[in-house]
Amino acid sequence: MKKVYLVGGGPGDPELITVKGMKLIQSADVIIYDRLVSRKLLAYAKPGAELIYVGKQAGKHTLTQEEINQLLIKKAEEGKLVVRLKGGDPFVFGRGGEEALALRKHGIAVEVVPGVSSAIAVPALAGIPVTHRGIASSVTLVTGHLAEKKEERLDYASLKAETVVILMGVKNLPKIIEEFRKTRPPTTPVAIIEKGTLEEQRVITGTLADIIERAQEAKLKPPAITVIGEVVKLREDIA
């Protein structure tokens, strides 16, 4: 049966991929990979494997999502072992669900290989547990990069979780923080982790009152993850 593996490549550090994910990389005929996938993982591909980059970043897409879907279908129909390698976990803001539905619609089997999500791993490696007894018993994962004309679907100010983790929020950070200021104290701790899990990782900390200015002073660049909540204070002792 024709089949595509949707593989989570982990949060950036190539050592954080799963064993199953690594085995599939080593055996794949075709690897179709994203921008945030560690290039070091591709070094484990077998000789002759076809490596196809389909990365996206703000304002610059190698292929549209529909074109990526069609590429996956085409390669699978050629009878090849196809690995769709995505950063983090395929189903956490990775559009893996869309790709799985497109493949199944064409009668192609899909196997999901979960990955270590950057939403949890990046804060953890920066010394910030997203939950902690007595401090935070709830966490919300949210995107900071919303689809066009759908911004009304997400009301940041109404989020009630004690910890909020925002992915892909660098461009919209001022607007997002302004929304949180409507319902949370200005002293609420905030951390922004740039290039998490990598050697170049930087962590910028502050509060809702001053984090925008601190991020601007640090010339923050994506990829970065923002954590809002009292758990940020634990970094002082854990990191």
Region(s) of the chain under CATH 3.40.1010.10: 3-113
What gap in Å lies between CA 173 and CA 212, rounded to an integer?
A: 7
The answer for residues whose C-beta is within 8 angstroms of residue 28's C-beta and 6 or more apart is 5, 45, 46, 49, 81, 82, 83
* pLDDT tens by residue, 174-209: 999 999 999 999 999 999 999 999 999 999 999 999
What gap in Å lies between CA 226 and CA 89, rounded to an integer?
A: 18
Q: Which of 19, 5, 3 is nearest to 83 (CA)?
A: 5
Residue-level pLDDT at 216 = 97
* pLDDT tens by residue, 51-92: 999 997 765 668 999 999 999 999 999 999 999 999 999 999
Asked whether the beta carbons of 134 and 26 are under 8 A apart, the reply is no
Q: Chain-wide mean pLDDT for the chain?
A: 94
Residue-level pLDDT at 66 = 96
* pLDDT tens by residue, 121-131: 999 999 999 99
Q: Dihedral of CA 36/39/43/47: which sign? A: positive
Peptide bond into 123 cis (omega under 30): no
Catalytic sites, residue numbers: 34, 56, 168
Residue-level pLDDT at 204 = 98
pTM for this prediction = 0.93
Indicate the class that CATH gives domain 118-238: alpha beta
Dmax (CA) for the chain in angstroms is 57
Residue-level pLDDT at 75 = 98
Region(s) of the chain under CATH 3.30.950.10: 118-238
Mean pLDDT calculated for residue range 103-130 = 98
Assign residue 21 a region (left: φ > 0; alpha: ψ between -120 and 50; beta: otherwise). alpha
Examine the pLDDT at 27 and tell me if it is beyond 90.
yes
Q: Is 71 exposed, middle or buried (0-12, 13-18, 19+ CB in 10 A)?
A: middle
Mean pLDDT calculated for residue range 117-142 = 98
What gap in Å lies between CA 176 and CA 227, rounded to an integer?
A: 12
What gap in Å lies between CA 175 and CA 69, rounded to an integer?
A: 32
Tokens of 140: 């919300």
Mean pLDDT calculated for residue range 163-177 = 95
- CATH fold label, 3-113: Cobalt-precorrin-4 Transmethylase; domain 1 (3.40.1010)
Residue-level pLDDT at 96 = 96
What gap in Å lies between CA 11 and CA 198, rounded to an integer?
A: 9
Residue-level pLDDT at 61 = 66
Reported as half-sphere exposure (CB side, CA atoms, 13 A), residue 207 has a value of 7
Amino acid found at 226: T
Tell me phi and psi for residue 206, to 5 degrees: 180, -150
Beta strands in 115-170 (DSSP E): 139-143, 163-167
R_g over Cα of the chain: 19
Residue-level pLDDT at 239 = 87
